[in-house]
Amino acid sequence: MNLSLSRRSALRMLASLAASRTIAHAQWDPARRYGPPRTTRRLQVGSSTLQVEFATGALDLSDDVVMKRIETAAHAVATYYGSFPVPRTRIFIVPVADRSGVVQGTTWGDVGGWPAFTRIRLGQHTSPQELAADWTITHELVHLAFPSLPDDQHWMEEGLATYIEPIARVQTGELPAKQIWSDMLDGMRKGEPQPGDEGLDRTHTWGRTYWGGALFCLVADVEIRVATGNRKGLEHALRAIVTAGGTIDHDWPLPRALEIGDGATGTRVLTQQYRKWSTSPAPVDLAKLWQQLGVQHSGSDVELSASATYAKIRDAITTAKA
C-alpha cells in the first residue's frame, strides 16, 4: 500500500466530512451519546496520563493494538514538543460498523473537567497495517498543543496539525523524511491563494485552512531557522507557547501566542508573517522554496539534495530536539 497516497486521499476525505474540527468548551457528554464505555485503559506518556475509553461495538483489532497505536502517536507529539502537552487527556474510541481505517477524528478542549477530549471513529474491520499507517490520531493529539482560537483563525489550528503530524512522526523514526517532503511537495501548492483570496483570516476554504495553514508553518519554520543560523525553529516557538499555558483548553487570541513564540526564538517572524498573511493573499514562490530546500522531483520519485542552500535547515526540521 502506498502510504503517501493513502494520506492524501484521507486528507481529501477528511475535508469532505468537515472532520477534525477543534471546538472549545464543548458542553456535550460522550457517555450520554455512546453509553458507558465497554472498557477503560490508561497510558502513561512521561508525566501525562491518557485515559482511553472504548465504546461498545465490534472491532477486529485487539484493544492492545489500538493502545499501542495511540502510544506511538502520543510519543511522536511528546518528542516534537519536548513533553506531552497536557497533563491528562481523554480519548474515546468509537467503532464504526462495516468500515475500515480511521474514519474520523475530532478534538474538543475543556470537556467535563478534562483539558481535552478526542473522539476517534474507528472502522470495525480496520487491519493492523491500516492502523499502523494512520495519521489521524497523531493529528488530533497535535491539536492539544495550541490554544483554541477564534473561528477566523481556525486555519492556524489545522495548519499546525497538518504540518507537524508528519514531522513529529519522522522525528521518532515512524516515517522516512523523504516521504513527508514528497507529501509536502504535493500538498503545499494546494495552500496557495486563489484568485479573490483575502488572506488566511478571511478566506475559509479547505485548501487555505489545511494547506494554507501548513504553508504558513513551513515558511515560518524556514524563516526562523534562516534568522537564527538554524539554531531555533518553529518547535522552539511552539514549545514556549505550551509552557506559557497555551493549550487547547484555553481560548487565546492568535497574536498573543505568536508574541510568545517569537520571544522564544528572538525573532519577529511569526508576528510579521501573520500581519502580512492574515488579510492579504501573500503567495509563496514554492518553486524557489523547494529548490532552496533541495526537494525535487526525480521521475515519479522525490530526491533530497545534500548540496541545496537550505539542506541543513531541511534536515534540522525533521531532527528531534532535546
271 to 300: interface string for Zn ion, x by CB under 5 A: ------------------------------
Alpha-carbon distance 292 to 295, whole Å? 8
Nearest approach in angstroms of CB 143 to Zn ion is: 6
Among 7, 10, 11, 20, binds Zn ion (CB under 5 A): 20
DSSP collapsed to 3 states, 106-120: EEEEEECCEEEEEEE
* Window of 12-20, 36-44, 62-70, 84-92 that interacts with Zn ion by CB under 5 A: 12-20
Residue 149: all three cell numbers together: 482560537
CA distances from 51 to 43, 119, 128, 139 (A): 6, 12, 21, 18
Helix (H) or strand (E) holding 50: strand 48-54
159 to 188: interface string for Zn ion, x by CB under 5 A: --x---------------------------
Specify the residue, 69 or 232, whose C-beta has the smaller distance to Zn ion. Answer: 69
Which of left, alpha, beta for 46 (phi over 0: left; psi -120 to 50: alpha)? left
Specify the residue, 20 or 273, whose C-beta has the smaller distance to Zn ion. Answer: 20
Specify the residue, 15 or 240, whose C-beta has the smaller distance to Zn ion. Answer: 15
Specify the residue, 146 or 310, whose C-beta has the smaller distance to Zn ion. Answer: 146
* Window of 67-75, 158-166, 219-227, 241-249 that interacts with Zn ion by CB under 5 A: 158-166
118 counts as binding Zn ion under rule CB under 5 A: no
In the bound complex, which residue of the shown chain has the CB atom lying closest to Zn ion? 20
Give the relative orientation of helices 254-265 and 269-278 as an angle to the nearest 10 degrees.
150
Q: Which residues neighbour 322 within 8 Å (Cβ) at sequence distance 6 or greater?
A: none
> Which residues are bridge partners to 88 per DSSP?
49
Alpha-carbon distance 293 to 222, whole Å? 9
Nearest approach in angstroms of CB 144 to Zn ion is: 11
Q: Report how many residues bind Zn ion under the rule CB under 5 A.
A: 3
Specify the residue, 60 or 251, whose C-beta has the smaller distance to Zn ion. Answer: 251
* Window of 156-164, 216-224, 233-241, 276-284 that interacts with Zn ion by CB under 5 A: 156-164
Nearest approach in angstroms of CB 11 to Zn ion is: 10
Helix (H) or strand (E) holding 91: strand 88-96
Number of DSSP helices (H) and strands (E) in the chain, helices first: 14, 8
User: What does the binding site for Zn ion look like in residue numbers (CB under 5 A)?
Assistant: 20, 158, 161
